[in-house]
Amino acid sequence: MTLVTAALIVLAVVGSNAFQFWDPAEEFPQLNTYFDNNYIGQSFETLQEKHPDLVKISSLGKTPGDNDIHEITITSDVSNWQTANKPSVKYVANMHGNEVRGRGLLLKFAYYLAMSYESDQDVRDIMATTVFHLLPTINPDGFATATKSCSGVDGRYTSDGTDMNRDFPSSWQSGTRLKFANETKMLMNYATRVPAVLGISFHDGALVTNYPWDGVPDILSGKYAASPDDALFITMAKTYSLNHKSMSKRAAQCGQDDFKDGITNGNKWYKVFNGMQDWNYMYNDCFEVTIELGCCKYPSDAADTFGKVWSDNFNSILKFSKLANSGVKGRATDYFGNPLTDVTITVSGINKTTKVRHPEGYYWRPLLGGTYNISASKHGYYTLARKSIVVREEEPTQIDFILIPKSQVRARKRRRRRKRSV
């Protein structure tokens, strides 16, 4: 790779960001405090009341500690988000209850999207093309018992003692799993109901963007474990880290950490089995990364913590979100225009298929720029292949698939045979 080519890649990843910066804590000071779990639900209710065309709230259910796992969906014309031709992104935080920055970041992000919609054309544009699903805490019981500490474990686990980031299914599962924590089961059910193209899980304890694989049995911890979409994940990770104010700078990283460009392959850092990001990529076709937002897990100064995390990550989270509309996109239908789901999308040279999961047959498949052969297949239908599809970095390439049922062709052949025999 020449220096010129490398410079062009960095420019494409970093680029410019025209979104107008605004800290919602200027108007809502409580966002810069260590608010409790109820405040998340109250805030979401307020946003829904004020912006009913943009905001829809829900709860994944009650935890054993009687806390809701609050979720907010934000997009234009939100009442029709489930059938709209838009990819979903899913951002979650506070999986480890004592890692707190993501709570403030995602709550501010919800306020920012809803309240900047009228004044910022760039916000309107991204909400016209993307559905945001934000869950500021997926382990509220853990947070309720956490104590301020940079390296402690109080509150890390769920109320039944489960480390959620070691609690998801895996095709190379480590050990025999008898049950999942209630919170894990709620997240798994949610991922089925709300299929997302991109995902982030926000953590604390380092300053880095971590990408799959997190753990592969036959590769030692500390060694690189490349996923089939390794080059794409590297670009995704750099999109976040290089747009962050300091993540890519060695001086800002923690202790002895020295992550080049502020990114790391999970297994290369340290092996994690049954983690959520590998599970989402493997089973849900959700291209998820794990982002460590800071060295101290639960700092003592909430205002400084949440003020800095918002300004540091503002460009990163918006730039990363745009990747949901990259690569190829399209619709899978039958010969009569009826949408098809459970269609397998295969890309030449990448040993990772994805499924059409949208009820209207829409699909999105992030890819780097290049030329690909792409096919669509479904049981009972003939496979349709498209060759030499050019994918550009600037915008997704539209590739629709009309699949012909084998039964229809067989019926035609039978009718023709009958006609010839008459």
- Annotated catalytic residues are 292
Contacting residues for 87 by C-beta, under 8 A, at least 6 apart: 129, 130, 131, 196, 197, 198, 324, 325, 329, 364
120: tokens are 């910022």
Given strand 206-211, what is the order of strands in its sheet? 55-62, 68-74, 131-135, 88-93, 198-203, 287-294, 206-211, 263-265
Dist. CA 141–CA 138, nearest whole Å: 9
Dihedral angle, C-alpha 8, 397, 357, 130, nearest 10 ° = 60
Task: Tell which residue, 109, 140, 133, has the closest CA to residue 31.
Answer: 109
CA distances from 133 to 71, 192, 199, 293, 305 (A): 7, 14, 9, 19, 23
The CA radius of gyration of the chain, in Å to the nearest whole number, is: 22
Question: Which tokens sit at 354?
Answer: 């994805």
Phi and psi (nearest 5°) for 260? -60, 125
Task: Enter the tokens of residue 321.
Answer: 């979100």
Q: Within a 10 A sphere around the Cβ of 206, how many other Cβ atoms?
A: 22
Q: Which residues, in sequence order, are CB contacts of 211 under 8 Å at separation 6+? A: 227, 233, 234, 236, 237, 263, 264, 265, 266, 277, 289, 290
Residue type, 114: A
